[in-house]
């Protein structure tokens, strides 16, 4: 597998959980759990990208390299693209974007998403998906769904239930009983630097605004996103106070 790097974007501002990267979970700040998971992967380098001195200070206290970035970034992708420019990484260098609120992301998934991109030289982005196992998940707008072509190129990502089984819902949306073939998106990405910089230079697109899904910007600009079937399932991410309590129980020694 080609060498790859991991960048963890982290910002202090959060609508639901201000200061989220620094929240203490099982005696460590959240961002430390994420960093330690990344360090257990095969990445040749892991760093934290932030615009906040408090996050930088915390990261340095547990030995994580930090890259200070602009306060103007609207997304983690934009932040990582700045890191790639500052580091002058080669255009074909593979970078994994590991979200800063994913303390239970298995290292094997970090390795896998990088490997998926490395295996497809014409692809610009790679990500992962897992089978949906319940009708509740299929209909949940917080569970992002993905459909692909026969070569595992992403066709669309949506919060809506796709693919839609017409014959499984004879009386409309609420009557749907089938979720066969549905896959949920796992929010970890690998990019080649050239594609990452290009993506970050483009303005948000209409579909991205509608669905609030940044990966749709890549699709709308014609990028080839390959989707791998995940070899493991990540634990829950951290978005609410309830998530903090749930994840703490899973991380307690």
Q: Is 162 exposed, middle or buried (0-12, 13-18, 19+ CB in 10 A)?
A: middle
Least Cα distance to 245 among 12, 23, 11 occurs for: 23
The model's pLDDT over 58-107, given as tens digits with 9 standing for 90+, comes to 999 999 999 999 998 888 899 999 999 999 999 999 999 999 999 999 99
pTM of the model: 0.94
Element (H, E) at 28: strand 28-29
Task: Calculate ∠ Cα 39-40-43, nearest 5°.
Answer: 60
Q: Give the integer Cα–Cα distance in Å for 77 and 248.
A: 28
Q: For residue 112, what are its two tokens?
A: 């896998």
User: Which domains are delineated in the chain?
Assistant: 4-251 (3.90.550.10)
The model's pLDDT over 210-227, given as tens digits with 9 standing for 90+, comes to 999 999 999 999 999 999
**Cross-strand bridge partners of residue 154:** 148
């Amino acid at each position: 597998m080609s060498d790859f790097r991991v960048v963890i974007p982290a910002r202090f501002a959060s609508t639901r959980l201000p200061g989220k990267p620094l929240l203490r979970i099982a005696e460590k700040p959240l961002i430390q759990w994420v960093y330690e998971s990344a360090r257990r992967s095969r990445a040749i380098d892991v760093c934290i990208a932030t615009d906040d001195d408090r996050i930088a200070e915390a990261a340095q206290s547990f030995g994580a390299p930090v890259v200070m970035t602009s306060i103007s970034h609207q997304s983690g992708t934009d932040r990582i693209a700045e890191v790639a420019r500052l580091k002058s990484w080669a255009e074909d260098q593979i970078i994994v974007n590991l979200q800063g609120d994913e303390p239970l992301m298995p290292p094997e998934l970090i390795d896998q998403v990088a490997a998926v991109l490395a295996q497809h030289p014409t692809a610009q982005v790679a990500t992962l998906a897992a089978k949906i196992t319940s009708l509740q998940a299929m209909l949940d707008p917080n569970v992002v769904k993905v459909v692909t072509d026969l070569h595992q190129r992403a066709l669309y990502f949506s919060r809506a239930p796709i693919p839609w089984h017409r014959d499984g819902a004879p009386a409309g949306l609420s009557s749907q009983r089938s979720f066969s073939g549905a896959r949920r998106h796992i929010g970890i990405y690998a990019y080649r630097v050239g594609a990452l910089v290009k993506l970050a230079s483009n303005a948000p697109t209409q579909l991205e605004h509608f669905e609030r899904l940044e990966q749709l910007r890549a699709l709308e600009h014609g990028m080839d996103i390959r989707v791998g079937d995940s070899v493991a399932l990540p634990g829950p991410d951290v978005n609410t106070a309830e998530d903090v309590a749930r994840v703490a129980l899973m991380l307690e020694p």
